[in-house]
Structure 1
Amino acid sequence: MTQQHAHTSPGLRAWLGLAVILGPVLLVSMDGSILFLAMPSITEAISPTADQALWMLDIYGFAVGSLLVAFGSIGDRYGRLKLLMTGATVFGLGSVGAAFAPNPELLIACRALMGVAGATLLPSALAVLSELFPDAKQRARAIGIFAAAFAAGFAIGPVVGGLLLTRFWWGSVFLVNLPVIVVFLAFAPVLLREVRSTRPGHVDLASVVASAGGLLLTIYGLKHLAADGLSLLPVLTGALGLAVLTFFALRQRHLEHPLIDFSLFRDRTFTIAIITGLLPLAAWSATAFLSGIYLQSVLGLDVLHAALLALPGAAVLTVTCIVTPAFVDRIGKKAALIICHFTIAGGLLLLLPVTVTSGVGWYIAATVIAGVGYGISFSVVADTAVGAVPAERAGSAGAIAETSNEIGNALGIAILGSLAALIFRLQGPDLAPTLDETLELPNLLPAALTDAQGAFVTGLHAAVLVASLLHVALGAAALRWLSKATAGEPAPTDTEEPAQKQLAGRP
């Protein structure tokens, strides 16, 4: 980087370009959570089975997460702006299809299409952003705004969905994407320039297929085990999925341009940071989904009231994400990772006192406290991943951080949501697979209603307890492995300093 670049402030084009980029970023993350409060309305309208309802929530995150790294490499090779324009167009078409889907199958298919399109947007957006801000310090600020927008999308998704449902039908939660997509397609060619790598490498098709197929097979097996009990088909499917994922991991070791460079995980800080990208999103997505049902179907709150109760936690999460870079500069990235996990664990435990008759205060306190940890996780993971990957693979660099977020978002509902569903099946009145389906049964006796709501609350408690224990364990591991650096950040090594300075904006 030249001295001239180091002192050049970005112009109006750069900041307008950033504003245009943030639109699709916000949509991609928001659509990962916007259905949480909408599911009771969707269930009433098109009557999905319990398995279909979970796939409506999960297929988007799995499509995004499993293809992010691949599309990061494709963008590096063929042009990131071109991929952004194509992805935004497909995302809009998928949104229209989902809004007017007459049955669960078509809605799941449209959500999958939106996920594929979303996977094209995130890594390319971060790479184009790097072109807009050649100055390291300004680029660091822009990346912080990017991370805040991504975090805000996850946080406000349920709120936006809840507010729309108070005035419009359930399809409005998808049509809200269209104005943002139209604005992006109109202004992106004017404000953004094409960016591609000088050494893009080869995109390994077998790795793309193995990563996506392995994830889907594994989660399919987990879902059916939770919903239907132990049987041969889900066990074989899950085992096959794990075998395919193992093949994927081993294949990356022999590729010149792997989709995921597993050698990066030799660094303990990087490893804990990437797990920090996955685990908090798993906890957040599962508890947000289950809490949305709890507030509406157990406590009987309307969708607007439930959406407003989520606002304090969403605000804390977003603000924390914005201030985290300054916070990390004072105490160090490693100390921030430790604080992140213990804060989330403490917030999750505050959901244990909720009951069938009360729990609003506990819910707000839990989301506010855990929101601090969630906000830290977004910023730290993005900074670590982008700073660790060479500059010529900027699209792939952004994909690493976003992949851990998206996979965590989907796995949370798939695993922790399936755990809650299993407990409901074992302890509930055995009249229907889910609480919402049970509530729709005609002539439901008060005793059966109480049993169903109690079983759901028990499942919620089990999910948050498991998530809290996992965060305690990861926080303890970080404390043990990284304790020498908790007071501040060690000086970068000769091999990592250029990437940190060039991409993460460290002075």
Structure 2
Amino acid sequence: MYLLGIPTARGWLPRPVRRTVGTMTQLRVHHSPGLRSWLGLVVILGPVLLVSMDGSILFLAMPRISQALTPTADQALWILDVYGFAVGSLLIAFGNLGDRYGRLKLLLIGATVFGAGSAGAAFAPGPELLIVCRAVMGVAGATLLPSALAVLSELFPEPRLRARAIGIFAAAFAAGFAVGPIVGGALLERFWWGSVFLVNLPVIAMFVAVAPVLLGEVRETRHGRVDRLSLVTSAGGLLLTVYGLKRVAAQGVSVPPVVAMAFGAASLVWFARRQRHLDHPLIDFSLFRDRVFTIAVITGLLPLAAWSVAAYLTGVYLQSVLGLTVLHAALLALPGAVVLTVTCVVTPMAVGRFGKRAALIVCHFSIAAGVVLLLPTTTTGGVGWYVASTALAGVGFGISFSVVADTAVAAVPAERAGAAGAIAETSNEIGNALGIALLGSLATMVFRLQGPGLAPALDETLQLPGLAPAAARDAKAAFVTGLHTVAVVAGLLHAVLGAVALRWLRATGGPRR
């Protein structure tokens, strides 16, 4: 099998790559990548951009979806974060499956399923089917990221060009998160809410048509089997725990959600203990003995949690509290997205001059300061504070996207770099989902306690027929109180982690290379 080639006077000269024969992996000499390799990179970036963008594209779309489908408060949170949980829970498992059965094959299957899930979500008649379709999209998304990165590494075997290509890959992934709400807002200004899902279909169709021509199969046979019991307990434990937290936040303490949380927590503990005795664990928890690695992984998780919940809550705030149009809200998010993307690009140069220690510390303190700038917002104004908040916090979010995986990998021995990189990627996806699940549930609980008590969420309350103006004002004030509570909690968490990084990284002398 040949993968891509190099241009000659008579056309393309095939470039032999790694091929699998039986149980042996043969390595052939690679030539420098040509135009076809760079075209392959462009093709790969399509689904990567979609996977990251779909983690955030609904943040400005939720008020419109709430009007159309009238989900309950916990259903609205599931619509937002079941996608991230599915991606994060299965990322490592599908990476292992791709190694065994072929990365390109998994990419094509995942892209096809992702397109089918997008089409189903666009025409979902109710919140239940929309949640199911979002979960299907998350499962498919988990197949795309690790396989795309493996194929990318095969396209660019020369280390310098591979580093440049991976940098482009990371920037595209970060840009997808940043522009997702903006793309969603622009689509909703002209089309119905399902358009935020249908936008995926042209990209998926292009990828399925072109990928078999430009990309070649990549397969490894040295990896052990996927432990199915670990996969089930990790995903089930996460979902049960989050389900219990959401039900308690939306409806108060009762027996079913408490039991669900207990079973979920027990499953996660059992999962962690089981990994210690497996030859090929899904997560190698022994890596967390290294302080630098631990801080890097938390830096992958916590900023994504703060970013996702802040983007969701401020999207509702701008539209449902201040009454802005979805396009106006999208334009206000643009400065923060630009800052985030530019920071992703310039961070590697800054790290080369000032070091990763300084980057990690600046990351957490800038996010802490940024989310605290949401505190002066009120029910009648706060647009300027919102823009300033997203711009300042965008610096920290951009640093997090840029340095987490590299810092985590550099902190461990070379033979464990693959496991470290997989954990770092998983922390991003789980953080994106946990932000909505945990901090979003906190905002829901504050609204339930402080609001008029007519409905468990702001949009549900505002849609009630014959709602009194005083009740509407009380509902908006309760939502803003919940937003402020989340901002304080997120700010404190990042300030504490910044202080811990300041102490721990000084004590260890910085990340080891």
Superposition TM-score tier, normalisation by shorter sequence = over 0.9
1:169 aligned to 180, 188, 192, which one?
A: 192
C-alpha distance in structure 2 between counterparts of 1:280 and 1:261, whole Å: 22
CA distance in 1, matches of 2:283, 2:272: 8
Counterpart in 2 of 1:76? 99
1:437 aligns with 2:460: yes
Corresponding position: 1:210 with 2:233: yes
Q: CA deviation at 1:420?
A: 0.6
Q: Check if 1:350 corresponds to 2:373.
A: yes
Change (3 A) 1:148 1:319: same
CA contact (8 A) 1:214 1:240 kept: yes
Supply the AA of the counterpart residue of 1:139: R
Distance (whole Å) between structure 1 residues aligned to residue 45 and residue 422 of structure 2 = 16
Question: In the alignment, what sits opposite 2:359?
Answer: 336
**What is residue 182 of structure 1 aligned with on the other side?**
205
1:263, distance to aligned residue in structure 2 (A): 1.6
Residues of 2 paired with 1:436 and 1:271: CA distance?
39
Q: 1:236 aligns with which of 259, 262, 267?
A: 259
d(CA) in 2 for partners of 1:457, 1:464: 10
Write out the 4+ residue segments of structure 1 that deviate beyond 2 Å after TM superposition: 5-10, 384-402, 489-492
In 1, Cα distance between equivalents of 2:428 and 2:267: 21
Partners of 1:225 and 1:45 in 2: CA distance: 25
- Rounded to whole Å, the distance in 1 between the matches of 2:31 and 2:491 is 46
Residue equivalent to 1:410? 433
Confirm or deny: 8 A CA contact 1:126 1:395 kept in the other structure: no
| Aligned twin of 1:38 | 61
Residue aligned with 2:378, SS = coil
- 8 Å contact from structure 2 (residues 49, 176) kept in 1: yes
Deviation at 1:395, TM superposition (A): 7.3
Give the Cα separation in 1 of the matches to 2:496 and 2:38: 41
Q: Aligned partner of 2:64: which letter? A: S
CA distance in 2 between counterparts of 1:39 and 1:55 reads: 11
Displacement of 1:485: 6.8
CA offsets 1:421-465 (integer angstroms, 9 cap, x no match): 101100111111111111111221111111111000000000011
Q: Which residue of 2 aligns with 1:495?
A: none
Distance apart, 1:143 and its partner CA: 1.4
Residue aligned with 1:150, SS: helix
Q: Give secondary structure in 1 for the equivalent of 2:190.
A: coil
1:318 aligned onto 2:335: no
**Structure 1 counterpart of 2:442, from 419, 426, 433:** 419
Contact in 2 for aligned 1:123/1:397 (Cα 8 Å): no
The alpha carbon displacement at 1:49 in A equals: 1.2
Task: Measure, in 2, the Cα distance between the counterparts of 1:36 and 1:484.
Answer: 40
Structure 2: stretches of 5+ with no match in the other structure: 1-27
Is 1:95 the equivalent of 2:118? yes
The match for 1:452 among 475, 478, 485 is 475
Query: Which SS does the other structure have where 1:482 is aligned?
Result: helix
1:270 paired residue among 276, 281, 293: 293
TM-score, structure 1 length as denominator?
0.93
Opposite residue 59 of structure 2, the aligned amino acid is F
**Aligned-pair RMSD on alpha carbons?**
1.9
Please report how far the alpha carbon of residue 349 of structure 1 lies from its aligned counterpart in structure 2 after TM superposition: 0.7
In 2, the alpha carbon distance for the partners of 1:382 and 1:482 equals 16
1:401 aligns with 2:413: no
Query: Aligned-pair distance for 1:197?
Result: 1.9
1:273-288 alignment runs, 5 A limit: 273-288=296-311
- Distance, in Å, in 1 between the alignment partners of 2:512 and 2:486 is 40
Residue 473 of structure 1, aligned match among 467, 492, 496:
496
Name the SS for the 1:263 alignment partner: helix
Which of the pair has the greater relative contact order for Cα pairs under 8 Å at 6+ separation?
1
Distance 1:413 1:397 in 2: 25
Structure 1, unmatched stretches of 5+, are: 493-507
Q: 2:71 aligns with which of 48, 52, 65?
A: 48
Task: In structure 2, give the amino acid aligned to 1:284.
Answer: W
Aligned residues: 486
Q: 1:13 to 1:389 in 2, by over 3 A?
A: farther
Return the alpha-carbon distance in structure 1 between the equivalents of residues 389 and 493 of structure 2.
Answer: 17
8 Å contact kept, 1:280–1:374: yes
Cα distance in 1 for partners of 2:511, 2:310 equals 35
Residue equivalent to 1:300: 323
C-alpha distance in 1, partners of 2:273/2:405? 25
Q: State the identity as a percent.
A: 76
Instruction: Indicate the residue corresponding to 2:83 in structure 1.
Output: 60
Q: Does the Cα contact within 8 Å between 1:217 and 1:241 map onto a contact in 2?
A: yes
- Deviation per CA, 1:322-356: give whole Å up to 9, x if none: 22111111111122111100011011110011011
Specify the code of the residue in structure 2 equivalent to 1:87.
G
